[in-house]
Structure 1
Amino acid sequence: MSSKILTCSVLSALATAFLLDWYHKKFEVTTPPTKNTPRKPRKYDDSLIREQLSRNYSFLGEEGLGKIRNTFVVVVGCGGVGSNCIISLIRSGISHIRIVDFDQVSLSSLNRHAVAQLEDVGTPKVECLKKHILRIAPWVTVETHNELFDINNAQPLLMDGNPDYIVDCIDNIDTKVDLLSFCCERNLKVVSSMGAACKSDPTRINVGDISCTEEDSLARSVRRRLKKRGVLKKIPVVFSSEKPAPGKASLLPLPDEEYEKGKVGELSALQNFRVRILPVLGTMPAMFGLALATYILCDIADYPMEPIVGKSRTKVDGIIQSLAGQQSRLGNTEQRIPIPNNDIIYIVEEIFRGKSPISNYSTRLTLSQWDPAKKLSLQNIVVMTKEEQKLHEQRVLKGGEKLESVYPPEVIQLVEKRFAEEKFYSQFR
């Protein structure tokens, strides 16, 4: 009896395997499409699509998701940022997408690529993405262009078929500027990713106009070059306001032996592309890509969205008045505080992380002069609560007590650490 059951089980398994193999051969593309030819979407019952997108329908509504499903998006750059953006867009309902990238999947890119696996190493990034897209959403029309974007092919890549949205995920500054200026000059809707390399703080990722970016050297360089070309339009970008600091990642130099060999430029993937290595924490490009996709989806669906740009949420006026009042009580007749408003925000939120170094409290904050023997400056102003400011003024600034007798060593060390950080940052200001 048991042998009959075993035989039946084996036959059943073989039949299932045969049926699955027949299904894949019948429905999968057996020959790859020619270069740059969009893969025709498989016929797919709309009720199944709606079920797969049911949570998005619940969130964005029938009209909102209807707009998304009818949107044609072009994404240029399919690395860590671009791949995560692309996969999020097609998972969320985008049904027509054109992806552009000249590069191949490398072993080192597996730490940040959205879908690439070991078996994809050495294959074009666009083909890798298409393969995975059609496994997730087989109804999507996918156009792949395994070529380098430049100003000479911008017209067909960005305008053929009248795309609704252009997404810039390029990491080469010259090519990025070419794409953005091309879009702005022709009123094409575009959103851009700035630099995710050397960044690690997820709380500093922002979405805003390129003119409002902070601590992003790529954004600053792009902005300047666009202005030189006369491009003054607003461009929404994703950027990180995280500052460089001692111990954090930075641009890696090439080994001396490579320079000694000569022809260093041959080490880059293409002429004029970067040779030195930008360290990347794999999670950051993914978050940049997800931020891009979320912004695009909400914009297309007309979903209410009011991005808070940068760290300008501190109530500056009250803090300035409090510091000015302290200086007046100390006998300083100068009415104006020699610290710009932007630097007040910088002191509170960047240097002292929005907390008092004395109590670690983050409410009822103000500023106080720290050492009475030194002039008021960015390296002699400390964030405190209002109560701490009053006590500090009584005991240290007016009473003449030494800082070491008023505060424990750990507070003194933390304040000195913050001042040392500001001194380091000042070289970039």
Structure 2
Amino acid sequence: MNHRNSEAKEVYDWDYLVQPQRVHRLVYTDIGIFQEEMMRIFGGTWVYLAHESEIPQPNDFKTSQLGHRPIIILRDRQGKIRALFNRCSHRGATVCREARGCKTSFTCPYHGWTYSNTGQLKGVPWAKGYGADFQHSEFNLGQIPRVDSYRGFIFGTLNCAAPDLLTYLGRAKDLLDQWIDRFPNAKITVQSSAHKMIYQANWKFSYDNAADGYHVAFSHRSLLAVANRGESAKDMQYFTHNPDEEPMYVQYLGHGHMFIDQRPSYTKKPGAYWQQQRPQPGREAYEAKIREQWGEQADYWLDLSVGSQMNLTIFPNLLIMGNQIQVIEPLAVDRTQVTIYATTISGVPDEVNVLRMRTQEDFPSFGIPDDMVNFTECHRGLSIPELEWVAINRGVGMSDRHHLDEDGVLTGPVTDELAIRGYYQEWKRLMTANLELTAQT
């Protein structure tokens, strides 16, 4: 087996590193593999970029990353959504250094080259110095060649041979529809005041954990204890028993996507979600006001304020959890940022969105720090070279626990690691595929 820095053109033995029941520690710790991921995973498949509500008007923009590539996601003057590479064609400096705003053009702070928000080079200071043969069109900003949106969620890929976005989403599309359609005729807005958290570990720990129902009873004991002070048999309380005996399940959806269903049932019956919500300090006054104003309709409005009790993960970087959108942003092989966006909805009483903000304060404040400590300690543990393997074998050989439907969706108990095994096969496929990645100019 050869290991390499991605610049060295050596070859990894991917079948050795990713096996059906285990993965090698280098998959998490090797710098060369990380650099290859930034090229092949975050370039070779559809990656979540932004939500349309973050750039609602022509000329609105926000800056972000595609792997390690700095990008600007925007609507141009005509309202078309584009993703420009945030790199001046002159000497490589970033042309936009603001998180978000509204601009018709971007001027590089280094030498003053100016580009329209369609990416065209429009102005070069003292252009005569380049001679008569200088062609502006040869120095336009690079762009992600394929950008598409599904119900407000914007994705992009550098792989022109990748399937279309709807094909890529597959069964995840139906679940995303269910998440959106909890709010009939309502417009979802992603709020800019996001939580940003950094942990000292590899990005894939976040993705592993999103479909891990095995850790909750142990990692989140303090959160469960807080909930127990209020009322039992509520959200997450099933983890105080044996979750294998509960009706929850985990699914591998294909294309690397995963799903944990914590809903008591997929129902539109008023109160179905609200009655499962664990207590949140400070919500009582808002609940009382909603009940006073809306009477029999109160359960309907309260349902829209609580989390969806869905964990939907769209490979490689988008997590839909409760009312929140979480985005995984790799910074280094051992450093990851997770950005957690709150969402509000239109056409509801103000108190509903206030309660949604209370929910936004809840798990990011009391649950995600537990997870990040685990990720950091996992990465630290994987620094031991003599202990090579990470086990992902829970549920292997127990076919009576699993169901494979006609669409290839595999379902099993929420504590089984079947979804992690599934997404690693997609990971390995992309790492070994003959990809041709390109930028548009």
Instruction: Mark yes or no: TM-score above 0.5.
Output: no
Question: TM tier, shorter chain?
Answer: under 0.3
Bigger-Rg structure (1/2): 1
Q: Which has the higher contact order (CA 8 A, sep 6+)?
A: 2
Q: Which structure shows the bigger proportion of residues in strand conformation? A: 2
Q: TM-score, normalised by structure 2?
A: 0.23
TM-score (norm 1): 0.24
